[in-house]
């Protein structure tokens, strides 16, 4: 079984520009700094290339300026080289004082950071402070990096604290650059009156630099009836599904159950839907050989969503298989990058999934934030007592659609359940995820039939629940909650899921509490959540999400990230260092969206 590492969208992958800046005074000063400054640049480039990959598995490339930047002419030369080479963000490094406004990066669309080396010979901290002030005065937010411990000027070590900030900045900056110019593909319109399905073009354009594409759901019917899909892939996919996608229980009453022949037809239909959705998002050159050159191009969509309910599902098989298999890290062609594809065309949850994927390289879990179960309520309906991690209550995350099969937690690292970047997943782990999943015939309100994935997420995984919301008069706002998945005893789990829908995936989530505000207790997290949907990412990535949000000028309304893991541009403290949440709102409003 192969692992597919490639860029499936149009446009080259963004590179990281490294800007070595230097005191431009010659006659001994610049000459003494040239080598050590360029060595800093090379060390940063090596760190980034060794530690990071793009979310599609390709290596992250760095472009270093041809020479040290001592003034405006050399700054322009570096900018020209970066433009030619597709640089999407910059890191400026120096061990010494330099002339700030003459050497700084003034590209308003480029996420930028400056590492001022902590030494005493020609202290880079002085330049760091001065260039930070220059950026802030000019309205060009910059992330400043300064190691805690003094180092000798010839010490080429990048300390752990500096590494952490460099990598956090670069990964977030790459996410910004990768979204720019890509599309969100809306298949259908608004599902069941859910506001997140109302695609807000101003948000996509001004905050993400993305365009919006629209396709009516009838395009699936046209392509199925006219066989506009790769017939060889279809046969391969259908055979794979028959071997690996095990049917689960049918909870419908006898009067609503579909016959075996109808279910077999449903499988053929939903497999074709999955093929077509991939083709719509990323294109497929095979279609050109079938005489469909326009369809072969796709929509260059880095994310998308499918309306489904009710216009589609009242008559046709639902989109649950399509959504689940697309968002997983594997299918009939092997292990590959997951697609960010939202059920019910919830564009805001699709963007949240996209944020998580670009930051972690992992598949995401789309879910309803369905029910808060207090210890008292659990005891009342089951006669049992919640213990351990769930002793203070838990949140039931469940939705019929786009929960990736990676979300089963059947991948392993050091004996613990994890969700891995796709290029680390083994063939055995892929099979284990599939074996942990059943495909239940769709329930009664999916009148056209179809199948929904059903699994229970393994407990003890560190995860981050997140959601992007739009608020009138305010704009986009991000909220997040770091926590853990939980194992719940079968005699409790089975009772609770039977009260809602036992044919859908279940993730039991327990947020990490702080004892105050929205994180006073588990109930408060549920009460303060801003939507019926969330995206769940593997790992405690709240700090990374906050960094990315600040680059995009999106304030964070709710989080439980410790202060030491929060990394924003230096200007944010000027808006109220003692009140960081309010400062975040004020800074985002003052600087405005990245793509004004």
Q: Which residues are catalytic?
A: 344, 368
- The SS3 of residue 200 is coil
* H/E element, 64: strand 62-64
Q: Which two tokens stand for residue 308?
A: 């489904």
CB of 270 closer than 8 Å to CB of 309: no
- The SS3 of residue 555 is coil
Angle formed at CA 133 by CA 131 and CA 134, multiple of 5 degrees: 60
CB of 293 closer than 8 Å to CB of 269: no
Angle formed at CA 150 by CA 146 and CA 151, multiple of 5 degrees: 100
Q: Does 135 carry a binding-site annotation? A: no
Rounded distance between C-alpha atoms, residue 363 and residue 27, angstroms: 55
> CB-based burial of residue 216 (10 Å sphere; 0-12 exposed, 13-18 middle, 19+ buried)?
middle
Q: Does 331 carry a binding-site annotation? A: no
- The SS3 of residue 367 is strand
Rounded distance between C-alpha atoms, residue 63 and residue 47, angstroms: 13
> CB-based burial of residue 73 (10 Å sphere; 0-12 exposed, 13-18 middle, 19+ buried)?
exposed
> CB-based burial of residue 318 (10 Å sphere; 0-12 exposed, 13-18 middle, 19+ buried)?
buried
Query: Helical H runs in 283-346?
Result: 285-289, 293-297, 320-327
User: Sign (positive/negative) of CA torsion 379, 383, 389, 395?
Assistant: negative
**DSSP letter at 206?**
I
CB of 61 closer than 8 Å to CB of 177: no
Q: How far apart are the first and last CA of the chain?
A: 45
Q: Which long-range contacts (CB under 8 A, 24 or more apart) does 422-429 make?
A: 422/3, 422/57, 422/329, 422/330, 422/335, 422/336, 422/337, 422/338, 422/361, 422/362, 422/363, 423/3, 423/5, 423/53, 423/57, 423/335, 425/3, 425/329, 425/330, 425/335, 427/1, 427/335
Q: Which two tokens stand for residue 1?
A: 């079984």
Closest CA to 271 of 226, 325, 344: 325
Q: Does 368 carry a binding-site annotation? A: yes
Closest CA to 359 of 163, 172, 539, 184: 172
Q: Which two tokens stand for residue 432?
A: 């284990």
Rounded distance between C-alpha atoms, residue 586 and residue 320, angstroms: 41
Binding site feature residues for Mn(2+): 344, 368, 533
């Amino acid at each position: 079984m192969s692992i597919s590492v490639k860029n499936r969208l149009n446009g080259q992958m963004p590179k990281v520009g490294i800007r070595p800046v230097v005191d431009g005074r010659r006659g001994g000063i610049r000459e003494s700094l040239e080598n050590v400054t360029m060595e800093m640049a090379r060390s940063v480039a090596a760190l980034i290339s060794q530690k990071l990959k793009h979310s599609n598995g390709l290596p992250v490339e760095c472009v270093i300026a041809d020479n040290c930047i001592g003034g405006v002419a050399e700054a322009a030369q570096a900018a020209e080289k970066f433009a030619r080479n597709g640089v999407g963000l910059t890191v400026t490094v120096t061990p010494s004082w330099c002339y700030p406004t003459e050497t700084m990066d003034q590209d308003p669309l480029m996420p930028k950071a400056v590492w001022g080396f902590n030494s005493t010979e020609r202290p880079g901290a002085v330049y760091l402070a001065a260039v930070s002030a220059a950026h802030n005065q000019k309205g060009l937010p910059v992330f400043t990096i300064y190691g805690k411990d003094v180092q000798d000027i010839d010490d080429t070590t990048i300390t752990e604290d500096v590494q952490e900030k460099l990598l956090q900045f670069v990964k977030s900056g790459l996410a910004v650059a990768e979204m720019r110019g890509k599309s969100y593909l809306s298949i259908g319109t608004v599902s069941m009156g859910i506001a997140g399905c109302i695609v807000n073009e101003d948000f996509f354009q001004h905050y993400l630099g993305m365009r919006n594409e629209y396709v009516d759901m009838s395009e699936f019917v046209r392509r199925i009836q006219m066989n506009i899909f790769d017939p060889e892939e279809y046969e391969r996919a259908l055979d794979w599904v028959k071997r690996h996608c095990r049917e689960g229980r049918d909870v419908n009453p006898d009067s609503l159950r579909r016959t075996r022949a109808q279910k077999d037809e449903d499988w053929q239909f939903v497999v074709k839907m999955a093929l077509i959705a991939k083709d719509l998002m990323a294109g497929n050159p095979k279609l050109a050989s079938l005489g469909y050159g326009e369809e072969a191009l796709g929509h260059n969509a880095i994310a998308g969503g499918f309306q489904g309910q009710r216009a589609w599902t009242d008559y046709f098989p639902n989109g649950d298989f399509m959504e689940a298999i697309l968002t997983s890290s594997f299918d009939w062609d092997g292990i590959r990058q997951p697609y960010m594809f939202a059920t019910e065309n919830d564009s805001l949850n699709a963007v949240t999934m996209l944020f998580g994927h670009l930051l972690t390289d992992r598949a995401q879990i789309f879910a309803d934030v369905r029910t808060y179960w207090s210890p008292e309520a659990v005891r009342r309906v089951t006669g049992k007592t919640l213990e351990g991690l769930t002793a203070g209550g838990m949140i039931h995350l469940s939705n019929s659609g786009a929960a990736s099969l990676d979300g089963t937690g059947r991948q392993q690292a050091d004996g613990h359940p994890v969700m891995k970047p796709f290029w680390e997943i083994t063939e055995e782990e892929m099979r284990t995820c599939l074996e942990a999943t059943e495909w239940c015939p769709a329930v009664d309100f999916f009148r056209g039939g179809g199948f929904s994935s059903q699994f229970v997420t393994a407990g003890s995984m560190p995860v981050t629940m997140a959601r992007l919301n739009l608020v009138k008069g305010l704009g986009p706002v991000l909220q997040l909650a770091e926590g853990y998945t939980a194992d719940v005893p079968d005699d409790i789990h089975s009772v609770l899921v039977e009260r809602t829908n036992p044919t859908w995936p279940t993730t039991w989530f327990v947020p990490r509490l702080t004892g105050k505000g929205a994180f006073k207790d588990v109930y408060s997290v549920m009460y303060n959540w801003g939507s019926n949907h969330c995206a769940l990412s593997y790992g405690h990535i709240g700090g990374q999400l906050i960094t990315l949000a600040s680059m995009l000028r999106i304030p964070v309304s709710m989080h439980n990230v410790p202060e030491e893991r929060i990394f924003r541009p230096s200007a944010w403290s000027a808006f109220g260092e003692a009140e960081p949440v309010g400062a975040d709102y004020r800074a985002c409003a003052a600087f405005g969206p990245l793509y004004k």
